[in-house]
Amino acid sequence: MKKIQKICCIGAGYVGGPTMAVIADKCRDIQVTVVDVNQDRINEWNSEDLSQLPVYEPGLDELILRNRNNNLFFSTDIDKAIDEADMIFISVNTPTKTYGIGKGKAADLKYIELCARQIAKVAKSDKIVIEKSTLPVRTASAIKNILQNTNNGVSFQILSNPEFLAEGTAINDLTYPDRVLIGGDIHTEEGKQAIDLLSQIYQSWVPQEKILTTNIWSSELSKLTANAFLAQRISSINAISALCEATEADVTEVSRAIGFDSRIGPKFLNASVGFGGSCFQKDILNLVYISRSYHLDEVADYWEHVILMNDYQKRRFAEKIIKTLYNTVNDKKIALLGWAFKKDTNDTRESAAIYVADYLLNEQALLSVYDPKVTEGQIFTDVNRLGTRTEKENEQRLQVHNEIYDTVKGTHAIAVLTEWDEFIDFDWKRIYESMEKPAFVFDGRNILNASKMKALGFIYHGIGK
């Protein structure tokens, strides 16, 4: 069996960048080239100043420093990297369609198809092509179709190797994965060989018993299912949080009590302002779309409710702020702490903060935003993209700060939207003193100490309390 010497990864984003950095670090004898159409992004990956890397992940800078230009390369020369590689990972974005059939629901596979066509055009030797991006079920067969009809004598093996890393803990998740899933053509010798070659790469650092192989469609569906189950847990506990707020129950106590049941387990039971991120909503929408296309409407409705509950939670949080501030936030200054969809990442895709901000802006609030990793430009891009009002109006009502005490000065309320550790250690007494009174805190992540906050004078509202 031929040993893999060169890997190419198409797409230098949140998945491609960190994944390839870990592979390069663990397999020093393999040359890994990450390519992207976006020249700026590649320049950022190649930047001397590691704070300029396009993805913020704890531990990533160290890996880049250790491996870049040794056996890890970032480039825009896609054709060359494809031509030289034995193995090609496709790690491009698959956003939800914003047009045509399946608009707002199906995944847009335009970028995947473009990659497949480019590989088909450029490849002169046999390749193993791996889908790494999260994709709807049966995408591999579409890729296969494009690749196998090139008639240039090159043979392609298609594998599905979904990524389970969570942002903010990507390097740890990649280094110590719960499992690695490889889907391929398990009924042919060539298929089995391709699976083995990929498995060998992972075996450089992952115990063999954690590497699972399945047929390609099971692999694709497992990824969607895993994310749907995780998102469903959050929507379930968020549904209970609403009930807790209406009664005397406390959602943290309920989570703890049910989490002790070993069948339920304690993880992923933190009630919040709503889940975000590039995967959960998109993957459930994909699941819903596929189910409907097979006329499984009950199945589709079931999963769709996970998203509806999440939308409700974001809206409910914003409405609670408005209601508590005496039913009007018109021209009241409100500080939003956190814009990223979770801590330890600069990613804002589908972040609850964007929607909470939009609701409050609709009510003519004046917002001041602080996030330790998200740039001002990104924050404006996110609110402007919703198209709810003009860019000028957004600029008039929203301000971004680099420092917490400026952010909160003169505000009527603070809403905690991301669970950044640094928020816990702020000088809350100083913050209280600089705010309008009564000073409200809406803790959308339940990270602050409620009794301490109340003792300082705040009117404190957690989620599900």
Which of ligand UDX, ligand ADP, none lies near 342, with the C-beta cut-off 5 to 8 A by kind? ligand UDX
Q: Using the rule CB under 6 A, which residue among 19, 133, 219, 270 binds ligand UDX? A: 270
* Of the candidate residues 41, 127, 342, 461, the single one contacting ligand UDX (CB under 6 A): 342
Q: Residue 55 or 106: which CB sits closer to ligand UDX?
A: 55
Nearest to ligand UDX of 262, 327 (CB atom): 262
Q: Is 41 in the site for ligand ADP (CB under 6 A)?
A: yes
Q: Which stretch binds ligand ADP (CB under 6 A): 30-38, 45-53, 170-178, 267-275?
A: 30-38
Among the listed residues 4, 7, 23, 115, the single contact to ligand ADP using CB under 6 A: 115
| Residue number, 127 or 343, with CB nearest to ligand UDX | 343
Q: Can you give the three-state secondary structure of 1-64, one letter per residue? A: CCCCCEEEEECCCCCHHHHHHHHHHHCCCCEEEEECCCHHHHHHHCCCCHHHCCCCCCCHHHHH
Closest CB to ligand ADP among residues 112, 408: 112
Q: Which of 32, 15, 12, 11 is nearest to 201 (CA)?
A: 32
Tokens matching residue 3: 């040993």
Distance in Å, CB of 12 to ligand ADP, minimum: 5
Strand residues in 107-255 grouped as ranges (E): 127-131, 156-160, 180-184, 211-215
Q: How far apart are CA 46 and CA 38, in angstroms?
A: 13
Instruction: Quote the tokens at residue 323.
Output: 């209601």
> Of the two residues 47 and 172, which places its CB atom closer to ligand UDX in the complex?
172
Could you say whether residue 343 binds ligand ADP (CB under 6 A)? no
Is 219 a binding residue for ligand ADP by CB under 6 A? The answer is no
Site for ligand UDX in 202-231 (CB under 6 A): 227, 230
Residues 265 to 304: which contact ligand ADP by CB under 6 A? 278
- Is residue 133 involved in binding ligand ADP (CB under 6 A)? yes
Distance separating alpha carbons of residues 266 and 86, to the nearest angstrom: 42
In terms of phi and psi (left: phi > 0; alpha: psi -120 to 50; beta: otherwise), the region of 333 is: beta
Q: How far apart, in whole angstroms, are the C-alpha atoms of residue 108 and residue 106?
A: 6
Name, in order, each residue with C-beta under 8 angstroms of 344's C-beta and a sequence gap of 6 or more.
Answer: 56, 57, 58, 167, 168, 169, 420
Q: Does 423 bind ligand UDX (CB under 6 A)?
A: no
The one-letter amino acid at 283: D
Task: List the single partner that 444 binds among ligand ADP, ligand UDX, none, CB under 5 to 8 Å by kind.
Answer: none
CB of 26 to ligand ADP, least distance (A): 20
Contacted by 277, from ligand UDX, ligand ADP, none: CB < 5 to 8 Å by type: ligand UDX
Q: Which segments of 134-205 does DSSP mark as H helices, in order? A: 139-148, 170-175, 189-203
- Sequence-ordered list of residues with C-beta below 8 angstroms from that of 383, at least 6 positions apart, any chain: 354, 357, 358, 361, 394, 398
Q: Concatenated DSSP letters for 267-291? A: TT----S---SSSHHHHHHHHHHHH
Q: Given candidates 67, 93, 346, 368, which one binds ligand ADP under the rule CB under 6 A? A: 93
Asked if 306 is part of the footprint of ligand UDX (rule: CB under 6 A), the reply reads no
CA–CA distance, 431 with 352 (Å, rounded to integer) = 24
Q: Are 383 and 358 in contact (CB under 8 A)?
A: yes
Residue type, 287: L
Name the strand (E) or helix (H) holding 358.
helix 352-362
276 binds, among ligand UDX, ligand ADP, none (CB under 5 to 8 A by kind): ligand UDX
Catalytic residue (one of 9, 115, 244, 279): 279
From 4-12, 24-32, 181-189, 424-432, span contacting ligand ADP (CB under 6 A) = 4-12
Instruction: Give the Cα separation of 46 and 78 in Å (integer).
Output: 16
Is 279 part of the annotated catalytic residue set? yes
Q: Which stretch binds ligand UDX (CB under 6 A): 48-56, 269-277, 325-333, 433-441?
A: 269-277
Which active-site residues does the annotation give?
A: 279
Q: Which residues bind ligand UDX (CB under 6 A)?
A: 163-167, 227, 230, 234, 268-270, 272, 275-277, 279-280, 341-342
Q: Which residues bind ligand ADP (CB under 6 A)?
A: 10-16, 36-38, 41, 78, 91-93, 111, 114-115, 133, 278
